[in-house]
Structure 1
């Protein structure tokens, strides 16, 4: 046991000189370094100064009790992890032992005790303390590794989104031109689909990391769930047709109002439909149905079913289908693709909205069904309020584009000019600030990671120089909640995460 004793320090606290001497001699013969204290205040001072591994602490001391000494050791971060062994020749009743142990002591010995019993107890406490230290070090390493992972994922997303933004914008320009060859149109369509798929994978990867750490915040507003489903279905119909799948839907004739984050709801049903699409072969059918339900207490909820005729889910996999990295297709060839995180996102986001989601399947080859329940606002709200959506006003704008990535800047400039906007560009924050002050554009699309003067500083300088006379839109690869908050605090009106789809950008410019 020598490895447990050669470096350990023991603080022996006892006001009885003879007992203190015998205890110290026993511990030193066992190879320990021993410090001594005759009262509680001296014990606290030595504990804070020397940081012993174990304190052998008599309960009855002349100034303060051993119970109080132990509690004060536990209350201070720098002494809280020291192992404490109470000793007593008088306070030996069960209730006194319980008081000592509940007060923070790790062991209790009744005097007089044998030397072997003392040494065995000290060794046990040292093993326990070192096990705790190992666990603490591992926890610290895991915390640091988690921090580095989050930093890496944020940087990875930023680095991936810049080229994705350039590709998406360039493909958007090509899509609006009449192709010279039918093959060109097919190639552009492939580029768009695969770029959108990559962008979704990047977003899902970051979102699941933030969700597992509780760092996703919902931006709730009054949302029509029916409108969200229609939006998702509009996006997926061409994809289903391209895969030779039938996409059927049955939605209510009236709005389904709820308090929700519309972006996150789109993400939920996009992931469910993407999952159904991925696991259903050509000739199959995807079905989306939604209905309003009323409970006995008068509360309303929505039940949305996403059903497919695909490969189904094996019974042994079904209970864990919402767990991280769970895959229905576990074959070596991995023909269905995916990261196994989409359904985890669905489950967490639905629960954050106060709902629940279930998965059903009759087994392999018999399709799957995912059912989502979400709380709705009372029907009376729908009858009282009529929302009129304004027509999008198309108009030419004077736009400043500040982007240091050459390809992304050129592609976005070409796209904006194709729409008839007047565009000026800058490759760094200082030049962007100069142009904004001199030319007073209506809108500035500003990358955050700029050389010289980053996007946040540029926004702050612009607000200080020209106030609210310009609309500032942040275009960035960083999409965390903290990034949105920081952009808003710097003076940006909107925060968009790359790659921005051309249709979304066109709508944004029309609605400003």
Structure 2
């Protein structure tokens, strides 16, 4: 009774502490997310400021060309104060020719417009005193006082429409070398044509709502110059830009706001899920401790076994993390992008391809890390085929696109080869590239730069020497550490010092694979100056026919499988419903008919219920309840009937060579390792059916 009360009391504490862990985790994570979003907003504000300043600079640059014409006109008038109508029209025609936005040119002696060109469209302005006219006098007075030209407007023009005036004061020099005010030269710009020729749509306005305005020096109110956006501004950023004798203001805001609702909801959901994850971890740990107290002797033995298993698992995960993190990050990143852009068919197709690509690289890395001991023992072999060197770069770019973008790292990829197609093991070369590139991304700070080059150095005996060079602007390493770089688990700095997690296993794998292919690897690095790693490998040059076959491989494989296997019936023995659904769907989409058995015993029963020839082959999982795949294969081979010789193909997650041997020894004809790739399945089926 006492023990039960004590357990209940302890259980109550566990749940209270679990709730506390959830609350604290949520507060910490939410604070971190809020900080990240503020940083993101600052970045967006900086970009918006740059866009605003660029727009104003573009306008100013555009208007400066007319300022030059205004100065020219002023100088000519000052040198010839008795300019007659013929001279004026000739000069004005020369200035206005080829300038659609230049609507007219005016001379205003003593401030009164006396000459206009062309007369037909500007006659209404003749006689206007700009020193007294309400909408012009403040600008004219400012020009006269400063002695410099003034941009006025946009204003409603006397001759109709909206325009901007470039008012330039003219002074003549008398006999005593004294300057006297003569009047003004005025260039009239059609504002609608100015906006059209500025072509502000060519800037980033598709991402922003904005308003450009200045203060009317006469009324002190805002004078709207340009506006873009249907919904108006709600949380705009105000940017001021100095113009000649004026200040222009740009109110700018992203179309979707500084933060999107989807982004906020996703971040909140991530915080909640991670907080729940930490709370569940704590709850599991606390319950485990409670059970440990209740069953001390038994749990001591179990704890020892768990500790040993955890140590093995930790070592395994520790060593694997260096190589797995990058493709996993690519899968997660493109999955998130896929969710955000699910309505964009083109992006969905692109993201799905990149997810598939990263998943395949992830699988290949797992296989290679597990086979590291085979490499060291000289038992590893190369699976060479005709491959594209350019495809190698595209693959690596897809894997690191998300990671580099998150760290604001600029990655440049260059391929300079004469022979694009060569014979090599694509998976192993990808792993070499992946490990080096992963280190470059991890050890390069935000805003850094990484260059990856693949060049063909020379050709000899129908082989080409390819050099893979990856150079970064990261933290670098000391010359003393470089000789130890390829030692397993060697690290110059701890994770605490470098702020970078890793195992120190990536570069030993690189060296082992490079030596397996008969190549060389060279490292150049200085602390604080970055690292440059070069790998040189000789590959056999693919002849024209093999290169063409490699280029068409993707198009041919699935089509041939459907044509040769269409209508054939396959018996699938698979106990996992998810795996069974995937396999059945893929096979049926390839034109095959499929029956599903949930274990080896059911497989044999279904086989013998049908007449000879009904099933063309059996796809057999290994680990199944009641009767595994090995037992089922032996039973089928021992049976004295027509199905004793039916092709049986192992299809299992047991991916070691020993498992392949066991499958063949049990009477199976072939072996396919999961996760399955349909082109491989179809190729194997074509061999046996």
The unaligned stretches of length 5 or more in structure 1 are 1-148
Secondary structure of residue in 2 paired with 1:305:
strand
Q: 2:595, 2:398 → 1: CA distance?
A: 34
- CA pair 281-509 structure 1, distance change in 2 beyond 3 A: farther
2:452 aligns with one of 281, 288, 293: 288
- 2:184 alignment partner in structure 1: none
Cα displacement (A) at 1:374: 1.1
Whether contact under 8 Å (2:424, 2:539) holds in the other structure is no
Once the two structures are TM-superposed, the CA of residue 324 in structure 1 deviates from its matched residue by: 1.0
Q: Aligned to 2:677, what secondary structure does the other structure show?
A: helix
Matched, 1:373 2:544: no
Select which of 477, 495, 503 maps to 2:672. Answer: 495
Which residue of structure 1 aligns with residue 151 of structure 2? Answer: none
Question: Is the contact between residue 255 and residue 382 of structure 1 (CA under 8 Å) also seen in structure 2?
Answer: no
Mark the runs of 5 or more structure 2 residues left unpaired by the alignment: 1-308, 343-347, 685-689
Residues 412 and 221 of structure 1, relative CA distance in 2, 3 Å threshold: same
| 1:375 partner SS | strand
2:578 corresponds to? 411
Q: TM-score, normalised by structure 2?
A: 0.39
Q: Hey, what does 1:382 align to over in structure 2?
A: 543
Q: Distance in 2 between matches of 1:319 and 1:176?
A: 41
Number of equivalenced pairs: 332
Inter-partner Cα distance in structure 1 for 2:578 and 2:335: 13
Secondary structure at the aligned position of 1:314 is classed as coil
**1:208, CA displacement in angstroms?**
2.3
Distance 1:246 1:400 in 2: 51
Find out whether 1:431 has 2:602 as its counterpart. yes
Contact in 1 for aligned 2:622/2:650 (Cα 8 Å):
no
- The counterpart of 1:359, out of the listed 508, 523, 528, is 523
- Return the structure number with greater helix share: 2
Give the corresponding residue for 1:393: 558
Superposition deviation, residue 348 in structure 1: 0.9
**Partner residue, 2:82:** none
What do the CA deviations read for 1:452-507 (whole angstroms, capped 9, x no partner)? Answer: 5443454566678648865735222433x4444555665454432x5x3xxx7355
Does 1:300 find its partner at 2:474?
Answer: no
Alpha carbons of 1:429 and 1:471: their partners in 2 closer, same or farther (altered >3 Å)? closer
Check the 8 A contact 1:358/1:371 in 2, yes or no: yes
The residue that corresponds to 1:276 in the other structure is 440
What secondary structure is seen at the aligned counterpart in 2 of 1:323? coil
Cα offset, 1:305, TM superposition: 1.3
- Do the aligned partners of residues 244 and 222 (structure 1) sit closer, same or farther apart at CA in structure 2, a change above 3 Å counting? same
Match of 1:505 among 669, 677, 688: 677
Distance 1:351 1:469, change over 3 A: same
Report the CA distance shift for 1:196/1:308 in structure 2 as closer, same or farther (over 3 A).
Answer: farther
Q: Residues 318 and 412 from structure 1, CA distance in 2 versus in 1: closer, same or farther, beyond 3 angstroms? A: same
> Residues 298-326 of structure 1, C-alpha deviation per residue, up to 9 Å, x if partnerless?
85311111233333223222111111112
Distance 1:509 1:477, change over 3 A: closer
Task: Deviation per CA, 1:331-372: give whole Å up to 9, x if none.
Answer: 3377432322222111111111111222222223x3222211
Maintained 8 Å contact 1:445/1:475: no
Q: Which residue of 2 aligns with 1:65?
A: none
**TM-aligned CA distance change 1:296 to 1:375, over 3 Å:** closer
Say which SS state the counterpart of residue 383 (structure 2) adopts: coil
Distance, in Å, in 1 between the alignment partners of 2:546 and 2:358 is 41
3-state SS in 2 of match to 1:393: helix
Rg (Cα) greater in structure = 2
Summarize deviations over 1:227-273 as a string: whole Å, max 9, x none: 44444444443454455433322224654555533332232222222
Conserved in 1, the CA contact under 8 Å of 2:467 and 2:537?
A: yes
In structure 2, the residue matched to 1:455 is 629
Tell me how far apart the structure 1 counterparts of residues 434 and 570 of structure 2 sit (CA, whole Å). 32
Q: What TM-score does the superposition give when structure 1 sets the normalisation length? A: 0.51
Please give the root-mean-square deviation of Cα atoms over the aligned residues, in Å. Answer: 4.9
